[in-house]
Structures are given as structure tokens and as C-alpha cells.
């Protein structure tokens, strides 16, 4: 009798799963017939996990769309600002190349690594990219190290991201929870929500259009176990046009320009020397891109999580980077960890008040709290920032005092000495600066002249003077190119609006009024 009862339970359970499969399949089938853009991004019946290993996109190869489907492809592209048609052709568990350095493939890691919760925020994400992110985490992570995956829905409007998503993830072999924000709150607050509900000792943040590669997780967790360090993987590029997987470089790290835009720069020689040439060792990075990183849960709380006064997205990556370094932590790129990310040329989302307004507010908050007097560089280059209401920063300033954080000058000297701030400025304006080294520069580009009576151009600053050396005459208001002894001349119609150097004629077109400013010395 017991055996008969057991069989009835098994049969009933099987019937439930079959019915659930039929429901999801029917739902997907009906939605795929719909022309409403909000319902696009669903998988078709063949979008399961059993596609042939020579199928579209396998091995990270690019997907080629037939000519007859090009118009439809372009229309679908607008929905998420990536090639949705290509993404839907690729299996949710497609194979990827092992792009690690050879020395990484043989590394051994301790058995007792901390377990991590993976937090992924999404808003109107395509089904295929979101689920491919989830499957890549599950398929390429040791399950003994994977506490859970927390999907935070930032008020998506697409129906397939509601009940169908919950039913789908319920069947996965790793616990996956879907958490809903009551209203559109943005990346920062949605991540805070996901982090607060997660239970792993380590929190790993990923974006909703990523693909993890073989061996991505262990080196991140091993580094956190070893030291109080915040770690990022190498971020590989997944093409938004073809979904080709392209390995990122272990020879770049994160920096920023003086508009507070995150930038990738070559790893400096001093960092190569510190690692004694071993490229498999983590790179200390001044800033992180912000989308993908792992952090110990207790340490995340200790250093103040995110600044909840920031809105939506933007600036939070530099803010947490400055805070980590200035308050006694370390920020690294673990070169043995690779995670791919779909980099889009434009965002499909709109923000209340406009993207520029929100980013200005966020950047003003980080400048006021963390940059000390050096915020003046930023405000002179970006004067519009000073016009925004940046809210109350009392609690963030108190956090800095509580943690006894170092000044920004320490950060520039010890963490980012190759920052794009010249040691001294003579004049600083919204577009260019004239430095004590007699360069006319913006960010890491300098005004360069290669021929007489020719146009000037912006080239990488080489600090060798030569074609980039300019002498300013404050009486005549001229900028003289020392090598040619010619004057910088404003653009004219015949020059196609490009400034050039000409024989000095003391005309109005060769007069440049430089505004002297009092700014802090770096050292």
C-alpha cells in the first residue's frame, strides 16, 4: 500500500510539472504572436537548453542575421538597444571559450571558500539575456559556493517578466528568488533591496545581460577570503550587434577623467612591478566600472553600502571606489575571473528629470563628500553640476568621519598618481586647461602641431614637450607654439572650423583670454 501511495504522489507531481510546462509553452506561443513591443523578448519553443552545439552563437561566435530578416532585426533592436533577434537565436546555456590566461587555468583554491548570493537587477530586460545570465551563473559556478540568485525586478512592465519568470526559475537547480520593487527606483536602490534580502556571506552584483565563463567565481571568493578586498572580474565584451564574445584585456584598469566619467586606462608600469610581472595576480584599480563586483556582506555594511541619496544610476561606481580606498579597503580586478557583458551604445530607459540631471546630482554628492577641495576641478570643468539640488549629505559626511577616512589628496598620491590631473594648473576652463608644463590639454589629450600653418589636433599627451609645448604671453594674449614660433589661431571658414597655427599677426583671432584660478596643489 505504501508503495502504491508513493507512486500516486510521484505521478501527481509529474502531472503538475507537465501541466506547468504546457502552460508556459502556451503562454510563450501566444505572446510570440503579439506585435506589442512590450511582449517581445520571449523565447520560442526551441529556446530550451537542448540546442545543438554548432547552433547560433555557440563558442561565443557571432550570429549572422539573413538579409531577408534585416528590417525586422532593426525594429527589434530598438526594444532593448541590442540585437534581440540574435539573442533569441542563441541557446540560454550556450558554450563559451575559456579566455583565461594559461597560468589561471592551473590555479588551486581553498575548499572552504565563502558562499555567495548573486544579485541581479533588471528592468524590462529581454527574456533571453536575463535567463542566459542566470544559466551562466548556475552552469559555471560550483553549487557548493552558490547560496542563491536574487533577481530584483525594478518595476518591469512586461508580462513575461512576472508570473512566467517566477515559474521558470522555480525549476532551476539553484535557489532563485524574484524580488519586486513597488515602483521604479533605479539600480542603486534596487541593489540595496536585493542585498538586504540575500543571505550569502559574499554578495556578488551582476548586470542582467552578462555571461559568466568557466572558473569565474572561485578566484573572486578566494581573494575575499584572503583579505578585506572588493574584487571585480575582467569584463569581457559581448557585442550588442552580433552577440560575439570577445575577451577583455588584463592590461587595463579603471580610472576617471575630470568630468568624473569612468574610463579604462593601460595598467601602469608601477602596478606591473608590484606584481613582479605575474599577470595572473590581481590588479589594484583606482576605480571600478560598477556593474560587476563581489564584496563581503559584513564589509559592505561596514563601509556604508551605497549612498541611498543617489538616484537611479550614475556616479555610484566612483563614489564607492573612492570610499573603499580612502577608508582603508582595497579594490582589485581579479585577472583570472572573466564575465561577459553586453555593452550598449545607447540606453533603452528614460529617467525622471533626464539622465544628465540625475548624473549631475549623483556626481555632486560624491564630490562634496569625498573629494575635499579637489571638487573645484570638477566644478570648473562642469559648471552645470553646481546648479543641481544634491540633497542632504549629513549622514554620508558622518560616515566618513566615523570610518576615519583619508583625504582625497592621499588617494591621488597613493592610489592614482597617474591621474589625469596635472601637478599644477595655470588656467582651467570648461574645455581646455593650460598647465604649468605648458600643455594645452583636456583629460589625457594635448593640443599638438605637426606642420607649419597647419591645423592643430588633440593627441595623447606624451610629456616630451616638442609639438605639444605652448608659451602663453599674458600681455599680448597669444599662445605661441614653441617649435614653430607660430600663434594659435581661431578657426575660420576656409579651415572648416578647425583651429590652426599661423604666423603671429596680433589679430583678434590670435588672442586667448586665460582665466587664472586658485586650485589645490596635488602634492
Span 309-353, pLDDT tens digits: 888 778 899 999 999 999 999 999 999 999 999 998 877 776 666
Residue 393 backbone phi and psi in degrees, to 5: -110, 15
Query: What are the structural domains of the chain?
Result: 74-342 (3.90.550.10), 355-415 (1.10.8.460), 433-502 (2.80.10.50)
- Determine the Cα–Cα distance for residues 282 and 223; give it in Å rounded to an integer: 9
- State the average pLDDT over residues 82-88: 96
pLDDT band, residue 133 (cuts 50/70/90) = very high
| Phi-psi label, residue 438: left if phi above 0, alpha if psi -120 to 50, beta otherwise | left
Structural element, H or E, at residue 151: strand 146-153
**Model confidence, pTM:** 0.79
Q: How confident is the model at residue 52 (pLDDT cuts 50, 70, 90)?
A: low
Share of the chain above pLDDT 70, in %: 83
Q: What is the mean pLDDT of residues 292-310?
A: 94
Q: DSSP labels for 274-315? A: HTTT-TTSPEE-SB--SSSEEEEHHHHHHTTSS-TTS-BSSS
Comparing 54-58, 118-122, 195-199, 351-355, which segment has the lowest mean pLDDT?
Answer: 351-355
What average pLDDT score do residues 368-376 get? Answer: 90
Are 502 and 491 in contact by the 8 Å Cβ rule? The answer is no
481 contacts 510 by C-beta, under 8 angstroms:
no
31's grid cell? 505572446
Q: What is the pLDDT of residues 28-50, one digit of tens each?
A: 433 433 334 434 444 443 344 55
Judged against a pLDDT cut of 50, whether residue 26 lies above it is answered with no
The strands making up 470-473's β-sheet, listed across from edge to edge, are 470-473, 478-481, 486-489, 500-502
Average pLDDT over residues 260-267: 92
Q: How confident is the model at residue 435 (pLDDT cuts 50, 70, 90)?
A: confident
Residue 186 bridge partners (DSSP): 312
pLDDT greater at residue 503 or residue 431: 503
DSSP3 helix / strand / coil % (the chain, rounded to 5) = 35, 20, 45
Decide if pLDDT at 516 tops 90: no
The per-residue pLDDT for 114 is: 97
pLDDT in tens, 66-75: 999 999 999 9
Amino acid at each position: 500500500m505504501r508503495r502504491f501511495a508513493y507512486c500516486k504522489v510521484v505521478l501527481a507531481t509529474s502531472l503538475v510539472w507537465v501541466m506547468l510546462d504546457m502552460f508556459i509553452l502556451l503562454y510563450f506561443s501566444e505572446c510570440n504572436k503579439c506585435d506589442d513591443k512590450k511582449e517581445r523578448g520571449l523565447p520560442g519553443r526551441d529556446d530550451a537548453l537542448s540546442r545543438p552545439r554548432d547552433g547560433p552563437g555557440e563558442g561565443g561566435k557571432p550570429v549572422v542575421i539573413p538579409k531577408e530578416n534585416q528590417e525586422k532585426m532593426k525594429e527589434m533592436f530598438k526594444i532593448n538597444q541590442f540585437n534581440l533577434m540574435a539573442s533569441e537565436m542563441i541557446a540560454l546555456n550556450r558554450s563559451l571559450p575559456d579566455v583565461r590566461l594559461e597560468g589561471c587555468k592551473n590555479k588551486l583554491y581553498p575548499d572552504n571558500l565563502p558562499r555567495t548570493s548573486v544579485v541581479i537587477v533588471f528592468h524590462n530586460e529581454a527574456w533571453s539575456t536575463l535567463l542566459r545570465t542566470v544559466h551562466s551563473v548556475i552552469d559555471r559556478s560550483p553549487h557548493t559556493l552558490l547560496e542563491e540568485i536574487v533577481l530584483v525586478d525594478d518595476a518591469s512592465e512586461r508580462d513575461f517578466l512576472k508570473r512566467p519568470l517566477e515559474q521558470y526559475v522555480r525549476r532551476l537547480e539553484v535557489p532563485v528568488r524574484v524580488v519586486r520593487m513597488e515602483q521604479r527606483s533605479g539600480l542603486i536602490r534596487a541593489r540595496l533591496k536585493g542585498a538586504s534580502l540575500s543571505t550569502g556571506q559574499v554578495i556578488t552584483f551582476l548586470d542582467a545581460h552578462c555571461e559568466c565563463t568557466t572558473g569565474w567565481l572561485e578566484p573572486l571568493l578566494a581573494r575575499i577570503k584572503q583579505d578585506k578586498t572588493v574584487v571585480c572580474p575582467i569584463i569581457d565584451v559581448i557585442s550588442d550587434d552580433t552577440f560575439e564574445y570577445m575577451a577583455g584585456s588584463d592590461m587595463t584598469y579603471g580610472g576617471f577623467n575630470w568630468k568624473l566619467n569612468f574610463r579604462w586606462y593601460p595598467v601602469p608600469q608601477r602596478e606591473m612591478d608590484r606584481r613582479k610581472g605575474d599577470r595572473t595576480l590581481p590588479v589594484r584599480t583606482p576605480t571600478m566600472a560598477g556593474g560587476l563586483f563581489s564584496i563581503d556582506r559584513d564589509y559592505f555594511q561596514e563601509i556604508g553600502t551605497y549612498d541611498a541619496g543617489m538616484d537611479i544610476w550614475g556616479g555610484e561606481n566612483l563614489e564607492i571606489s573612492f570610499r573603499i580606498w580612502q577608508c582603508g579597503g582595497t579594490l582589485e580586478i581579479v585577472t583570472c575571473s572573466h564575465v561577459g557583458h553586453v555593452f550598449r551604445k545607447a540606453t533603452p530607459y528614460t529617467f525622471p528629470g533626464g539622465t544628465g540631471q540625475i548624473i549631475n546630482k549623483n556626481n555632486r554628492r560624491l564630490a562634496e563628500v569625498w573629494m575635499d577641495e579637489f571638487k573645484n576641478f570638477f566644478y570648473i570643468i562642469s559648471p552645470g553640476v553646481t546648479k543641481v539640488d544634491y540633497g542632504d549629505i549629513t549622514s554620508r559626511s558622518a560616515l566618513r568621519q566615523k570610518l576615519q577616512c583619508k583625504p582625497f589628496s592621499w588617494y591621488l598620491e597613493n592610489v592614482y598618481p597617474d591621474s589625469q590631473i596635472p601637478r599644477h594648473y595655470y588656467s582651467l576652463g570648461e574645455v581646455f586647461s593650460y598647465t604649468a608644463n605648458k600643455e594645452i590639454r583636456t583629460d589625457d589629450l594635448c593640443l599638438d602641431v605637426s606642420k607649419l600653418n597647419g591645423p592643430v589636433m588633440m593627441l595623447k599627451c606624451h610629456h616630451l614637450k616638442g609639438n605639444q609645448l605652448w608659451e602663453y604671453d599674458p600681455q599680448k594674449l597669444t599662445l605661441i607654439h614653441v617649435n614653430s614660433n607660430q600663434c594659435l589661431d581661431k578657426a575660420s571658414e576656409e579651415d572648416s572650423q578647425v583651429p590652426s597655427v599661423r604666423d603671429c599677426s596680433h589679430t583678434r583671432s590670435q588672442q586667448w583670454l586665460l582665466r587664472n584660478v586658485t586650485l589645490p596643489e596635488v602634492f
